[in-house]
């Protein structure tokens, strides 16, 4: 599976903790991330991550293009709901594309854990 990992600044530590806790599951998949999030994941784990640009610099749109071209199977996007984001239109567009192309998206640690648990139980669950 192709999995995107994205985290707003105040959620990056939550993402790193989540990825470290689930490294054994994630290592079986192709991982993508926006710039800083991907770098921090690679520094904290043994995982290889294809890094796009930073979210505000177009990384969210790059991941959106993968979704639109059916090259992304799952998005884990730890959003900061309490801080205004300068690239909010890009965030909304990314979430809209997930809905249009029926790509599962987890926006917090609990929903991401449910998706990874489902992945472990049935590897074909997210196939289109």
Binding site as annotated, residues for substrate:
8, 12, 34-37, 54-55, 87
Q: Is 99 a catalytic residue?
A: no
Binding residues: 8, 12, 34-37, 54-55, 87
Q: Residue 47 in contact with residue 23, Cβ under 8 Å? A: yes
4 φ, ψ (degrees, to nearest 5): -95, 135
Of 60, 73, 99, 122, the catalytic one is: 60
Measure the CA angle with vertex 55, ends 95 and 77; round to 5°: 45
Radius of gyration of the CA atoms of the chain, in A: 13
Q: What is the dihedral of CA 61, 65, 68, 69, to 10 degrees?
A: -170
Catalytic residue numbers, as ranges: 60
């Amino acid at each position: 599976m192709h999995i995107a990992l994205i985290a707003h600044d105040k959620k990056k530590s939550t993402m790193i903790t989540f990825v470290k806790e689930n490294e054994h599951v994630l290592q079986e998949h192709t991982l993508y991330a926006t710039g800083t999030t991907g770098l921090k994941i690679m520094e904290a784990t043994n995982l290889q991550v294809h890094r796009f640009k930073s979210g505000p610099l177009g990384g969210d749109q790059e991941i959106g293009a993968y979704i639109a071209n059916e090259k992304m199977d799952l998005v884990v996007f730890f959003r900061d709901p309490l801080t205004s984001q300068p690239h909010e239109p890009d965030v909304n567009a990314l979430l809209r594309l997930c809905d249009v192309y029926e790509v599962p998206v987890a926006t917090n640690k609990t929903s991401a854990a449910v998706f990874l648990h489902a992945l472990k139980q049935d590897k074909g669950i997210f196939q289109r």
